């Protein structure tokens, strides 16, 4: 099974079905695919196959993370990108977070310079990235207190995002 399919399986478990929470800025979602971004899609009846195709074409390919050597890091970045996009902040939030860690330009685009810096980074980059994710969620709740209802789940999600 290729890396994308391994990652998308975890993301689909994290996103888990249909949700239409009034505090969620993405609105109605199924498998993490938000009506906000796909207004013409029948979200309530979205299939896993349709969601997988959307994740590949609209998230995986544009994120350009497949050349990162550390598969656990790729999974964390992909999962964070899915989650922040459904929050209306775009998946480049996830990309800028890894760029900040490896001290390259934070432009939200992963190219050869970012890939080289990520792949040569010597500290425990996955744990650093998970810390960045958690910090982001805590900062988000400070700025938008109505989002606190999701905080516990987001923090748990960071810790449970791993290959099984």
pLDDT confidence band for 24 (50 / 70 / 90)? confident
Would you call 38 exposed, middle or buried from its count of C-beta atoms within 10 A (0-12, 13-18, 19+)? middle
Rounded CA gap, 87 and 26, in Å?
5
Q: How many domains does the chain have?
A: 1
pTM of the model: 0.94
Domain extent for 63: 3-160
pLDDT of residue 39 exceeding 60: yes
At 150 the pLDDT is 93
Share of the chain above pLDDT 90, in %: 80
At 17 the pLDDT is 84
**CATH number of the domain bearing residue 8:** 1.20.141.10
- What average pLDDT score do residues 138-155 get? 94
């Amino acid at each position: 099974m290729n890396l994308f399919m391994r990652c998308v399986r975890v993301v689909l478990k994290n996103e888990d079905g249909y949700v239409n929470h009034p505090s969620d800025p993405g609105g109605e979602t199924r498998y993490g695919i938000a009506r906000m971004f796909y207004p013409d899609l029948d979200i309530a009846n979205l299939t896993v196959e349709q969601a997988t195709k959307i994740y590949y074409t609209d998230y995986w390919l544009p994120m350009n993370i497949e050349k990162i050597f550390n598969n656990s890091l790729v999974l964390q970045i992909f999962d964070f990108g899915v989650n922040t996009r459904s929050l209306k902040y775009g998946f480049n939030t996830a990309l800028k977070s890894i760029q900040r860690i490896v001290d390259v330009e934070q432009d939200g685009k992963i190219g050869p310079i970012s890939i080289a810096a990520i792949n040569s980074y010597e500290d425990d980059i996955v744990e650093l990235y998970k810390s960045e994710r958690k910090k982001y969620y805590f900062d988000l709740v400070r700025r938008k207190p109505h989002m606190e209802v999701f905080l516990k789940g987001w923090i748990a999600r960071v810790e449970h995002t791993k290959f099984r």
